Chains A and B, each alone.
Chain A
Amino acid sequence: MGPSTEGLVVDAVSVTYPAAGRRDEGARTAVDHVSLTVGHGEVVALLGPSGCGKSSLLRAVAGLEPVATGRVVWDGDDVAGRPVHERGFGLMFQDGQLFAHLDVAGNVAYGLRNRNVPREERRTRVAELLELVGLPGSGDRSVSTMSGGERQRVALARALAPQPRLLLLDEPLSALDRALRERLATDLRGVLAATGTTALFVTHDHDEAFAVADRVAVMARGTLLQVNTPAALWAAPADREVATFLGYQAFVPGTAGEPSVAVAPDGLVLDDGSAGPTPPTGRWAATVVGSAFRRGRTEVTVDVDLGEGTVRCTAVTPSGPPVVGEVRPGASVHVVLDESRTATLAG
C-alpha cells in the first residue's frame, strides 16, 4: 500500500443540491470535482470565502450529503455505502450544537454511550477530556450556563471522546470574539497535536487556518485553488485570488513577462523623503487619505497607483518616531516596498 491510500483521500468529489422549485432543472453544484488528501495525524484547513463549497465538502466527507461524483476513501476503503454513524468521523459545528437536555458530562459521554463503553471507563475518559480542553471538574454543569468559548471546548471534548478516525471541524471558532478566537485556535492546535487527531478544518479566516493547520487548501467557487503548508502558501500564492484571500492587499504588475508581486498588509512603507536613489522594486507617489495609530506605529491609508490604476492601500511608517505631522489627509507622499513583506506569484 502506497502512502497515497493512507488516511483520507477525497477523489474528484462533487456535491450538488436539488433545485428548490418544482422542476428538477437548476440543481446547484456546490463542490466541483475536488481532490484532497489528509494523512494520519495531519491537520488540513479548508480555507475559502462563505459559499465557496467548503462546508458542503465537509458534510459530504461526514456522509451528511450524498456525493454526486467521485469517492471518499479512508485507508483504502471507499466509505460510500457507510451511513454517517458508522464512518467513525467526528464533527464539530460552529455553534457547538450541544445537547441542552444533557449536562456537560452527558454531552461528552454521548458518543461513548453509543459504543456501550462501560460506565467507569466513561467517567475516566470524560474527566480526561475535560482536563484536556481546560474545563476540569465541570462535568455536572448545565451547558446553558456556559459562555460561548466554554461551549466550544465542551463540543471539542465531545467530538474527541469516541476517538474518531477523522475529526471534521466546521468553522469551530467563528462564533467567538477575536481575542477568544486567537487563544482557542492555539489551544485547539495543542489538543489536536496532543491526541494525534487527523482533522479537516473549515474556516474563512486565514489567520485561524495558519494557526491550526499543517496544510491549507484554498477553495473558491467549488474548486480547490491551491494546497500547501502555511509558510509555502504565504511565500508563493498560486495566483491573485489566493493571494487576496490570504490577505495580500495589492499587486505590482511584473514587467517583461515577469510574474506580479503581491504586497502584504504591512508591505508598503512610507518613504521618509530623505531617501536617495529609487530602489529597484520601485517608488510611487501617493496621496494620504487618513492615518491611525495602531499597534505601536502609524498606519497611513493612501491612494496609490502601483501600475494598475489607483488603489487604496495601507502603508506603515518606517521604524522610528511617529510622523503624524506629515500625513495630514491630502498630503502627497511616496511609498516603497518592504521586500521581506511581498511574495512573487507563482503564475
Chain B
Amino acid sequence: MDQGLDRVGDRLTTAGRTGWRATAAWALAAGVPLAFLGLFFAWPVATLVGRGFVADGALDLTGFREVFTEPRTWRIIGLTLGQALVGSVLSLLLGIPGAYVLYRCTFPGRTLVRALVTVPFVLPTVVVGVAFRALLAESGPLGGLGLDGTFAAIVLALVFFNYSVVVRTVGGLWEHLDPRAEQAARALGASPARAFRTVTLPALAPAITSAGAVVFLFCATAFGVVLVLGGQRYATVETEIWMQTVQFLDLRTAAVLSVVQLVIVTAALWAAARARSRREHALALSPATRSSRPLRRTDALPVAVTAAVVTLLLAWPLGNLVLQSLRTPDGWGLGNYVALGTTGGRNALTVTVWEATATSLRTAALAAAVAVVVGGLVALVVSRRPRSPHARRAVSVLDAVVMLPLGVSAVTVGFGFLITLDRPLGLDVDLRTSGLLVPLAQAVVATPLVVRTVLPVLRAVDPRQREVAATLGASPGRVLATVDWPVAARSLGLAVGFAFAVSLGEFGATSFLARPDTATLPIVIFRLIGRPGAENYGMALAASVVLAVVTATVMLVAERLRGERTGEF
C-alpha cells in the first residue's frame, strides 16, 4: 500500500518536473519577443497616442472633433484610401497576367525576368520615389507629360513597388495548382475562358484576395514614395502624421491621425489574415505539381501585358535612374559618384554619402540580427499546435500581436521612441544618444517580415516528424536541432536577407531617430533631393543607385539560399 503510494508520488514528480521544464522553456521563447515588442513597440506607440487623448491629466476627446471638422482631414483620408484602392486594383489587374506568364509558362530567360520583377519590391521607398521623380521631372524623359507631383505619379510608383507582391503571391499558388482540374473542365465542354473563370480563378481567389489586402496595406501606409513624389500637395495619413509632428509639433492631431491609420490598417490586416487561412487550407488540398508549359499563341494577351509592364513600368524607371545618375552639369561621366565622397553642394550633409552607407550597413546588420532572433522565436512558438485549447488560443493571440508593427505607421514608432526612451523605465541611460535607437526601431519594423518568412516553413513540418524523432530517442532540444532547424535554416537565411534589406531602406522611423552624424543612406538621399542645386540632385540619383544595388545584392544572395518557395512574400 505504502509502496503503491510512493510510486504514485514518484510518477507525479517526474511528470511534474519535465512538464515544468518544458513550460518554462516555451514561456521564455514567447516572453523574449513579447518583452521586446512591449518595450520597443507597444509602450512608445501607446505613449504617443495617449498624448492625443490626454490633456492636463484628464481624458480629452476634443482633439477628435477638431481634427474631423477640418476638411483637410477628410481630403487626406480620401486620398489615402483612393491611392491605396487604385494602386491595389491596378497591381492586381497587371499582376495576374504576370503571375500566369512567369509561373505557369516556360520561356528562355524566365529566371532573369522573375528576378527583375522581384527587385522593385525590395527597393527602398526613397529610391522608388527618386527613380520616378527622375523619370517624370521636367528634366526627365517624360517631363512633357506634366505628371510630376500628381496623383497618377504616386499610383504608378505604388504599382511599380507592389506588382511583384501580386505576381509572387498569386504565381506561387498558381504553379502548385493541378492543371488537370482545368483540363477536366475543358473536356466537359468549357471554352478556355470559361474554364479559367469557373475553375482556375476560384482556386486562385484566396491568393488574389490575400495579395490584394497586403498591397492595399502597403499602399495605404506608403511613406517615402508619397513624401518624395507628392510633396506638400499630396499628403496621406502617414505623411500627415509626419508633417504634424515634425513641422507643426501638433502631437494631438498626429495622435488622432495615428488612430485613423490604425483602423485602416487593422481592417486590411484582418482581411489579409482571413484570406491567408483560406489559402493555407487550399494549398494543403492541392499537391505541388510542376505544371509549366511552353508559351503558345493563345498566350499573346498576357504576354503582351507582362512585357509592357516589365519594360515600361519596371525596367525603364530603373534604367533611367542609372542613366540620369551618369549625367553631370559637364556632360556624361562618373562625377555624381565621385561626389559621394563629399558632403554635397553648400554642405547639404554632415557626413559623406559613403560614411552614411557604412552607417546603413552597420545599423542594418544589428537590426537584422535582433529581428531574426525575435521573429525566429515567435515563428517557433506560433508554429506549434498545443493540445490544450487555452494554450492554442494564447498562440494565436501571439501570432496576431507580432503582426501589429506591420500595421502601425513607422513614423509613429519613431516618434514614440523619441518621447519614451530618453530614460527607459526610469533607468539612467539615454538610449537616444547610444546609437541603438535606429537599429531597434528598424528591428521592430522588420520582425513581422521575419515571422511571415519563417512561419510557413516551420508549419509545413509534419508534426509526426517530431514525434518519430522523439520515439527514436531525441530529447525535445535535439528534436529542435535535428528536425526543425535543418528545415528552418534555409528560410532563416532568406529572413536575414529580408530583415537586412528592410532595415537598409527603412525611412519612416529612421527619419526621426537618426542624428545628422549617424544619418543612413535613405535619410541622406531624402535630404539631397530636398536641397537645391543640380549637384545635389545628381548625388541623390547616384546614392539611390548605390542603395538599390546594395539592397538588390543582399536580396539576391538571400534568394539563392532559399530552395522551394513557401514563404509569404
Q: Which of B387, B468, B472 contacts A18 (CB 8 A)?
A: B387
A238 interface contact, C-beta 8 A: no
Contact A97 B468 (CB under 8 A): yes
A12 interface contact, C-beta 8 A: no
Contact B471 A78 (CB under 8 A): no
Contact A110 B15 (CB under 8 A): no
Alpha-carbon distance A310/B506, docked complex (angstroms) = 78
Contact A85 B389 (CB under 8 A): no
Question: Chain A residues near B483 (CB, 8 Å)?
Answer: 99
Interface centre among B473, B474, B475 (most CB of A within 10 A): B473
Residues 10-47 of chain B, each 1 if its beta carbon lies under 8 Å from chain A, else 0: 11111100100000000000000000000000000000
Question: Chain B residues near A115 (CB, 8 Å)?
Answer: 473
Question: Chain A residues near B11 (CB, 8 Å)?
Answer: 78, 80-81
Query: B390 → chain A, closest Cβ, in Å?
Result: 9
Q: Which of A83, A86, A93 contacts B468 (CB 8 A)?
A: A93
Contact B472 A19 (CB under 8 A): no
B138 interface contact, C-beta 8 A: no
Query: B294 → chain A, closest Cβ, in Å?
Result: 26
Query: Considering only CB atoms, which chain B residue lies closest to A114 in the complex?
Result: B473
Question: Number of A residues whose C-beta is below 8 Å from B?
Answer: 37
Report whether over half of chain A's contact residues are helix, strand or loop; otherwise say mixed.
loop
Contact A158 B472 (CB under 8 A): yes
- How many A-B pairs with Cβ below 8 Å? 86
Contact A84 B389 (CB under 8 A): no
Alpha-carbon distance A83/B474, docked complex (angstroms) = 10
Interface stretch of the complex, out of B236-244, B275-283, B459-467, B550-558 = B459-467
Question: Chain A residues near B468 (CB, 8 Å)?
Answer: 91-93, 97
Question: Number of B residues whose C-beta is below 8 Å from A?
Answer: 30
Query: A15 → chain B, closest Cβ, in Å?
Result: 12
Question: Chain B residues near A341 (CB, 8 Å)?
Answer: none
B194 interface contact, C-beta 8 A: no
Q: Which of A81, A88, A91, A97 contacts B14 (CB 8 A)?
A: A81
Question: Chain B residues near A82 (CB, 8 Å)?
Answer: 14
Query: A45 → chain B, closest Cβ, in Å?
Result: 19
A64 interface contact, C-beta 8 A: yes
Residues 60-95 of chain A, each 1 if its beta carbon lies under 8 Å from chain B, else 0: 001110100000000000101111111111111100
A111 interface contact, C-beta 8 A: yes
Alpha-carbon distance A90/B472, docked complex (angstroms) = 6
Alpha-carbon distance A64/B472, docked complex (angstroms) = 13
B331 interface contact, C-beta 8 A: no
Contacts A81-B10, A83-B18, A101-B486 hold; do A110 and B469 have CB atoms under 8 A apart?
yes
Contact B471 A114 (CB under 8 A): no
Question: Chain B residues near A62 (CB, 8 Å)?
Answer: 467, 471
Residues 436-476 of chain B, each 1 if its beta carbon lies under 8 Å from chain A, else 0: 00000000000000000000000000101101111111111
Query: Considering only CB atoms, which chain A residue lies closest to B13 in the complex?
Result: A81
8 A Cβ contacts from B477-498 to A = 478-479, 482-483, 486-487
Contact A24 B389 (CB under 8 A): yes
Contact A111 B472 (CB under 8 A): yes
B7 interface contact, C-beta 8 A: yes
Query: B539 → chain A, closest Cβ, in Å?
Result: 48
A22 interface contact, C-beta 8 A: yes
Q: Which of A78, A93, A114 contacts B472 (CB 8 A)?
A: A114
Q: What are 27 A-B interface contacts by the 8 Å CB criterion?
A: A64-B470, A66-B387, A78-B11, A80-B15, A81-B12, A81-B13, A84-B467, A85-B471, A85-B472, A85-B473, A85-B475, A85-B478, A89-B471, A90-B472, A91-B471, A97-B462, A97-B464, A97-B467, A99-B482, A99-B483, A99-B486, A110-B482, A111-B473, A114-B475, A114-B478, A159-B472, A168-B471
Given pairs A64-B470, A111-B474, A158-B472, 11 additional interface contacts (CB within 8 A): A62-B471, A80-B11, A81-B15, A85-B472, A85-B474, A90-B471, A91-B471, A97-B462, A99-B469, A101-B486, A114-B472
